[in-house]
Amino acid sequence: MYVIIVGCGRVGASTAAALAREGHRVTIIDKDERAFRLLPRGFSGETLLGYAFDRQTLEDARIAEADALVAVTPGDNTNIVTARVAKDVYRVPDVVSRIYDPQRADIYRRYGIQTFAPTAWSAGKIIEFLVSPQVAREHSFGNGEVQLVAAWTPQHLIGKKVADLNVPGEIQVALLVRMGKGLVPVSGTTFELDDQIHAAVHQDSVGKFQKMMGWRP
């Protein structure tokens, strides 16, 4: 996988280093050359000095080849512009952007850009999203037999009953977050646009959960 990371702060540098250690190709961009000091010695990825929302910088980073882009600069506007250019102009498949303003975050999720609050995701969670972008594992119970997973409702489930996703002993939708409010589904509850699904899934059924939602395991 080839990943471009925009912003070489703590999260950006940690994400780049971890991806490189796992054998992925990585280019990390920052406008301040001193920021690259946060990268570990022997970092096998590439560094690129420049402004990420500048198309020439993105093309120098070979964005046409990118499988994913992560925007984690300190500024919402830079992250938003970079993410939109990556998604809309260069058709990068997976785009993740850090957004400080929760209202703006909701808007950009509708454009297919996964957003997260500054304190919400570590480098590890970003990598988990990149490797399996449709499902984020939030917590495990017991010895890991049951996973609490979170995902955004895919288009084909909108209007369908939440109960249709449940599989006894394997998958149970525990709650939805709708318009910022928690909702415990009842028998007639249906999925709506921008619902965030939180489900308890047996570890052996995570692949089934993804397939039922039309996603790759």
Q: Is the pLDDT of residue 151 over 60?
A: yes
Q: What are phi and psi of 200, to 5 degrees?
A: -90, 125
Distance CA 150, CA 138 (A): 7
- Burial class of residue 180 (count of CB atoms within 10 Å of its CB; 0-12, 13-18, 19+): exposed
Q: How does residue 118 score in pLDDT terms, banded at 50, 70 and 90?
A: low
Q: How many residues does the chain have?
A: 217
Q: What average pLDDT does the structure give for the chain?
A: 86
Alpha helices in the chain (DSSP H): 10-21, 55-60, 76-84, 102-109, 123-131, 206-212
Looking at 3.30.70.1450, 1.10.357.140, 2.40.33.10, 3.90.1640.30, the CATH number of the domain 136-212 comes to: 3.30.70.1450
Say which range, 134-138, 148-152, 191-195, has the weakest mean pLDDT: 134-138
Within the chain, which residue ranges are assigned CATH 3.30.70.1450?
136-212
| pTM as predicted | 0.65
Q: Is the pLDDT of residue 22 over 90?
A: no
Q: How does residue 101 score in pLDDT terms, banded at 50, 70 and 90?
A: confident
Distance CA 41, CA 21 (A): 12
Within the chain, which residue ranges are assigned CATH 3.40.50.720?
2-131
pLDDT of res. 8: 97
